[in-house]
Amino acid sequence: MPYHKILERQISKFSGGELFQAISTTYTHSDEDRALLERSLELSSKELEEVNKQLQSERDQIEIQVQQRTQELKAERNKISVTLAGIVDAVIVVDLNHNIIIFNKAAEKLTGFQLSEVLGKPINQIIKIFDKNTELPPSTFCPVSSDDFEGIVYSKEDLILTGLKGKQTYINLLASQIEEGRDVNLGCILTLYDISKEKQLEEMRLDFVSMAVHELRTPLTSIKGYLYIYLRDYKKALDSKQNSLLSRINISTQRLVSLVENLLNVTRIEKGTLTLNLQPIDWVQNINEVIAEIIDQAQDKNIELNFTEPTKPLSHILADKFRINEVLANLLANAVNYTRQEGKVTVWIEEKGSEVITHITDNGPGIPKEAIPHLFTKFFRVSGSLEQGSKGTGLGLYIAKSIVEIHKGKIWAESEFGKGSTFSFSLPIV
């Protein structure tokens, strides 16, 4: 007979009360020893019953706790589901392999896909993300980090999302992760902000500004031309007061023409229609040419305008001459305008690696530290004493920055209030 059958039969006998009988027939010692053994066995049996009751009680408590925890988890899950459903921005969550595990209602509306169609599928099979004309891989816009970092891992504005049937939407994207992500197979949380309406309104605004500026440009050109001809032919016949009035009209016309041109440039920049005609340029010679146009303005204020030419030959730069001269002329004019009488403006250049850097330094009043981060934004004007000497629109530095960046360069400013400023920009060499 197998051993486990023998063991089962013996246990059955003992449980049926035959244990003491077996002991009685096999144990022939004194009655005292027999009584002691029977009492020990009775105590062991009671202890086992107590342990069994205690284990049963603990098991019941654990089951209750498990049920409570399960209910709490269900409540939390439902709370998260309701919250995600009520969020107006699209939320997509992927696992460590970039497979979609959460896809809220706003994500369905944004992409055109239903939850049942995307759950468990790789995100790059459902949506495509483009930065202008370049497609971004999931590893870029939804990186899965191997460490325990918690927070934002990627952020980008003005992206294009392509969803069902090629539907395109302008979005701002924010990707984040949680510290416990690797433990729960959660790779990345994407939040997608639909900015299509804002982009549409922006396009309408730019179209209106562009149309209005073009309408202004035609009569201004006529006024400027007629005024030039009148001054050329009749200036000598006019007295000093009449010439002064016409000179003021001419200056105001030039300012208005400059404003119109700046607004046109801004609309071209923001619509991405500002084109460049790149060509190799002898930068040293070009700077001398632009300085020659500004020198009279500097001499009117007795400002010393110097160009420190490099001692070694400089590589040619690759740029659109007309556009980059707008930048140079704007920076030189600003330096002269904001520098006091009998001040000094110095231009110097250097070649570093694959770029040429141009510096324009003045000993004017300088720029407050808190204003420097805003210098290259649209319509920004430094308030206080610096604002009093200028009648600009606050567009010049914004346009300069945009033109330099289109050339794949950089522009920046350094200043110490009360001691002067240095504006610098870099351009790639040929």
Q: What global pTM score does this model have?
A: 0.63
pLDDT value, residue 45: 67
What would the two tokens of residue 134 be?
A: 């370049």
339 vs 54, more confident: 339
- Average the pLDDT over 365-388 and give the result: 80
68-89: b (≥16 Cβ within 10 Å) or e: eeeeeeeeeeeeeeeebeeeeb
Count of C-beta atoms within a 10 Å radius of residue 123: 24
Q: What is the pLDDT of residues 202-260, one digit of tens each?
A: 888 888 888 888 888 888 889 888 988 988 888 888 888 988 888 888 888 888 888 88
Q: What is the pLDDT of residues 163-179, one digit of tens each?
A: 999 989 999 999 999 88
Mean pLDDT, all residues of the chain: 84
Q: How far apart are CA 382 and CA 394, in angstroms?
A: 9
Whether the per-residue pLDDT at 13 is higher than 80: the answer is no
Torsion of CA 351, 337, 333, 313, to 10 degrees: -30
What would the two tokens of residue 24 be?
A: 């009685």
User: Nearest to residue 420, comparing CAs of 367, 377, 370, 342?
Assistant: 367
Q: What is the pLDDT of residues 106-134, one digit of tens each?
A: 999 999 999 999 999 999 999 999 998 89
Q: 287: pLDDT confidence band, cut at 50, 70 and 90?
A: very high
Q: What is the pLDDT of residues 69-93, one digit of tens each?
A: 877 767 666 666 666 666 788 999 9
Rg of the chain on CA atoms, in Å:
41
pLDDT value, residue 3: 42
Whether the per-residue pLDDT at 20 is higher than 50: the answer is no
Q: Percent of the chain beyond pLDDT 70?
A: 83
Q: What is the pLDDT of residues 388-401, one digit of tens each?
A: 555 567 889 999 99
Q: Percent of the chain beyond pLDDT 90?
A: 41
DSSP H helices, 126-177, are 138-141
Distances, alpha carbon 370 to alpha carbons 241, 377, 380, 416, in Å: 44, 14, 13, 11
Residues in contact with 327: Cβ distance below 8 Å, sequence separation at least 6, in sequence order: 399, 400, 403, 404, 411, 425
Q: 347: pLDDT confidence band, cut at 50, 70 and 90?
A: very high
User: Nearest to residue 396, comparing CAs of 262, 273, 256?
Assistant: 262
pLDDT value, residue 270: 84
Q: Taking the alpha carbons of 46, 47, 51, 52 in that order, is the dihedral positive or negative?
A: negative
